[in-house]
Amino acid sequence: MSRFYRCPICGATFERKPPGKLQRREHLKEAHSEFFRVALRFNQVRAVAWIVFFIYVGISFVPILLEELSAVWYFLGLVAIFALNFLVFLPYYQLKVRRFRRSWKGKDHQHGEGSVLQS
């Protein structure tokens, strides 16, 4: 595990201690506000997807115990939810990061790449 948080857009680094996490959040809000909003929205959608996963696991567990739901269908449902999380949401997020990074590199920016901001 890295000792620093990295800004996914400009590469600025922040200490991994609690003040660094807050600095990273503030940096994203101020320097990359549009990306901050997209990332916030992405995290909300991802959280909902995980909640759906855990609800699915909880609701499906009882019929499996009562042998009313085939384990095959249960497994296929789990695979579908994981696929949604990892094959749709993650690549979508990475494409957004790449787009914002390219956009940022094309503009004048105040933080040099790889600069370390300490508390």
- Give the model confidence (pLDDT) of 21-39 as tens digits: 788 889 989 989 898 998 8
How far is CA 87 from each of CA 20, 35, 52, 78, rounded to the nearest angstrom?
30, 21, 16, 13
Q: Apex CA 9: angle with CA 116 and CA 6, to 5°?
A: 40
Q: Does position 58 have pLDDT exceeding 60, yes or no? A: yes
Predicted pLDDT of residue 119: 41
Which of the pair, 83 or 31, is modelled with greater confidence?
31
The model scores a pTM over 0.85: no
Predicted pLDDT of residue 65: 67
Mean pLDDT, all residues of the chain: 78
Locus of tokens 């909880």: 58
How far is CA 108 from each of CA 10, 25, 52, rounded to the nearest angstrom?
11, 21, 42
Which of the pair, 27 or 63, is modelled with greater confidence?
27
* 3-class secondary-structure state, position 69: coil
Predicted pLDDT of residue 117: 47
Q: Where are the beta strands (DSSP E) in 1-119?
A: 4-6, 13-15, 116-117
